[in-house]
């Protein structure tokens, strides 16, 4: 891998850092927003999940925008949107304006969640594509961890405005960084800018033979006339869309964002007393999330996508089952906090090297170039719909079904995901992007 490719992927991955920061920071900030604005339970849930409505809106149009103005410019737009949303959220005079600011932030997250992994996958050589797209997930986990640490540092004085407003810093870095980045060579070939596309391939590949092979595979993939929505009539593209949507939804309904958004509340349910202590424990979970994502970066191109998914999902099941069992035992109240911390660290660690990065990787790989922007947009939209439903109804599920049953449901869905991966998901390790085929 050339240093140039790593630089391009790292700048694009800043969209993931903003994604992680803006989704993670609310878990600590909501404890103080609730006090300042006197929020009821449903209002708390909506304050957390309104960002996801923005994500749904942003991801719905991001693919079409990336196909129209390019991957690079769409990431620039995402940076501007992130900046605007952070400013509005930090200076909000009331709950209504805060909801507007968080909605705008959500649009930026929706843009970056579609276009950043798409852009990285299109500039990455096949041999390191898994690692570089996983770098995006690593940036998400870094953003989440930074958010938790900022929450902890500012919790003593309840400075939630600073918590939300500090997102302007990585927003400006993303904007400045993308100004100097190239366009995806695949997008340039698609738009008939062949000379510029070949120049970019030359910067990605040192080997002329590899460069020629890549160009040939791209040109062959563009020979089919059907584009965008029309391409969805093809059985293979529909099969890819089924896999993309299913993986995106399963990533969410196995419960990851109950930990990201409601971690401090879960620790308080388990008997952790103060807001600062619960945020600190959440920071430990965030550290595990960040470190274990490195496993995917180092091994996804060596071991493959499916082995990591199987191992991670098995660990997630064990962690959720242990958490469900612990909440079902009232006599464990003295040690419940330690069990909750251990279970959540195991769960997040296993998610971090499997379902977290590999879903974003697979949905950036399985669609042919002519339908890639649209396919990723629809799959990511499904991801955010699942995210919204989980975040919106988690507290309601806990209230009506109980903590044990709620986490038991998430554990059962991990088994469902293992069976789905075994039956439908292709192994894409080391294949040229345009050579990947999904069986109809």
DSSP tag of 332 = G
Instruction: Count the Cβ atoms, other than its own, within 10 Å of residue 311.
Output: 16
Residue 272: predicted pLDDT: 60
The confidence band for 333, taking pLDDT boundaries of 50, 70 and 90, is low
Residue holding tokens 């996958």? 121
Phi and psi, residue 21, nearest 5° = -65, -50
| Alpha carbon distance 264, 236 (integer Å) | 43
Average pLDDT over residues 185-212: 88
Phi and psi, residue 427, nearest 5° = -90, 125
Residue 226: predicted pLDDT: 61
| Closest residue by Cα to residue 347 from 300, 411, 438 | 411
Tell me the three state secondary structure of residue 227.
coil
Percent residues over pLDDT 70 in the chain: 92
Q: What is the length of the chain?
A: 440
Residue holding tokens 């129209």? 68
Average pLDDT over residues 71-88: 95
Tell me the three state secondary structure of residue 107.
helix
Q: For residue 419, what are its two tokens?
A: 């069976």
The confidence band for 431, taking pLDDT boundaries of 50, 70 and 90, is confident
First to last CA, the chain: 33
Q: What DSSP element (H or E) covers 230?
A: helix 228-231
Q: Are 102 and 51 in contact (CB under 8 A)?
A: yes
Which residues are within 8 A (CB) of 251 and not within 5 positions of it... i.e. 6 or more apart?
Answer: 355, 356, 359, 383, 386
Residue 301: predicted pLDDT: 92
| Alpha carbon distance 91, 239 (integer Å) | 46
The answer, as to whether pTM is greater than 0.75, is yes
| Alpha carbon distance 104, 120 (integer Å) | 24
Domain ranges of the chain: 3-181+224-435
Longest dimension (CA), the chain: 70
DSSP tag of 125 = -
Mean pLDDT, rounded, of the chain? 87
| Alpha carbon distance 127, 116 (integer Å) | 19
Average pLDDT over residues 236-242: 91
CATH code that applies to domain 3-181+224-435: 1.20.1250.20
| Closest residue by Cα to residue 220 from 228, 212, 208 | 212
| Alpha carbon distance 186, 203 (integer Å) | 14
Average pLDDT over residues 376-400: 86
Which residues are within 8 A (CB) of 290 and not within 5 positions of it... i.e. 6 or more apart?
Answer: 138, 141, 142, 144, 145, 352
160-174, 214-228, 330-344: the lowest-pLDDT one = 330-344
The torsion angle over the Cα atoms of residues 145, 276, 411 and 390, rounded to 10 degrees, is -80
Which residues are within 8 A (CB) of 350 and not within 5 positions of it... i.e. 6 or more apart?
Answer: 292, 311, 312, 313, 314, 315, 316, 319
Residue 207, sorted as left (phi over 0), alpha (psi -120 to 50) or beta, turns out to be beta
Q: Give the side-chain half-sphere CA count within 13 A for 273.
A: 1
Instruction: Count the Cβ atoms, other than its own, within 10 Å of residue 433.
Output: 24
Is residue 130 scored above 70 in pLDDT? Answer: yes
| Alpha carbon distance 171, 105 (integer Å) | 11
| Closest residue by Cα to residue 23 from 417, 356, 312 | 356
Residue 265: predicted pLDDT: 66
């Amino acid at each position: 891998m050339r240093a140039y490719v790593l630089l391009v992927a790292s700048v694009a991955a800043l969209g993931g850092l903003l994604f992680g920061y803006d989704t993670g920071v609310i878990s600590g900030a909501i404890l103080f927003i609730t006090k300042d604005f006197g929020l009821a339970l449903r209002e708390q849930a909506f304050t957390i999940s309104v960002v996801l409505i923005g994500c749904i809106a942003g991801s719905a149009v991001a693919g079409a925008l990336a196909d129209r103005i390019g991957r690079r410019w769409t990431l620039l737009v995402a940076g501007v949107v992130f900046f605007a949303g952070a400013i509005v959220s930090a200076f909000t005079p009331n709950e209504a304006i805060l909801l507007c600011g968080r909605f705008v932030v959500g649009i930026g997250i929706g843009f970056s969640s579609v276009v950043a992994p798409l852009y990285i996958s299109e500039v990455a050589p096949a041999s390191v594509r898994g690692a570089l797209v996983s770098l995006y997930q690593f940036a998400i986990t870094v953003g989440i961890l930074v958010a938790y640490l900022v929450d902890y540092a500012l919790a003593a004085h309840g400075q939630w405005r600073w918590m939300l407003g500090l997102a302007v810093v990585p927003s400006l870095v993303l904007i400045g960084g993308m100004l100097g980045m190239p366009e995806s060579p695949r997008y340039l070939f698609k738009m008939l800018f062949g000379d510029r596309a070949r120049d970019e391939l030359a910067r990605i590949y040192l080997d002329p033979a590899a460069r020629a092979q890549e160009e040939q595979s791209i040109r062959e993939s563009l020979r089919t006339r059907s584009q965008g929505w029309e391409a969805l009539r093809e059985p293979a593209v529909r099969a890819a869309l089924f896999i993309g949507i299913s993986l995106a939804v399963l990533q969410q309904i196995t419960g990851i964002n109950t930990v990201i958004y409601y971690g401090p509340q879960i620790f308080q349910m388990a008997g952790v007393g103060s807001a600062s202590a619960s945020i600190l424990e959440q920071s430990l979970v965030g550290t595990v999330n960040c470190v274990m994502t490195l496993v995917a970066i180092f091994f996804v191109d060596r071991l493959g996508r499916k082995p990591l998914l199987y191992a991670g999902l098995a660990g997630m099941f064990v962690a959720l089952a242990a958490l469900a069992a612990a909440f079902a035992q009232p006599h464990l109240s003295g040690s419940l906090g330690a069990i909750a911390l251990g279970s959540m660290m195991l769960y997040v660690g296993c998610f971090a090297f499997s379902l977290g990065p590999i879903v974003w990787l697979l949905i950036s790989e399985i669609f042919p170039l002519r339908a890639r922007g649209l396919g990723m947009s629809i799959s990511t939209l499904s991801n955010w719909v699942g995210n919204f439903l989980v975040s919106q109804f988690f507290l309601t599920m806990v209230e009506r079904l109980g903590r044990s049953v709620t986490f038991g449901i998430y554990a059962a869905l991990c088994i469902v995901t293992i069976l789905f991966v075994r039956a439908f998901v292709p192994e894409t390790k080391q294949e040229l992007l345009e050579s990947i085929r999904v069986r109809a």
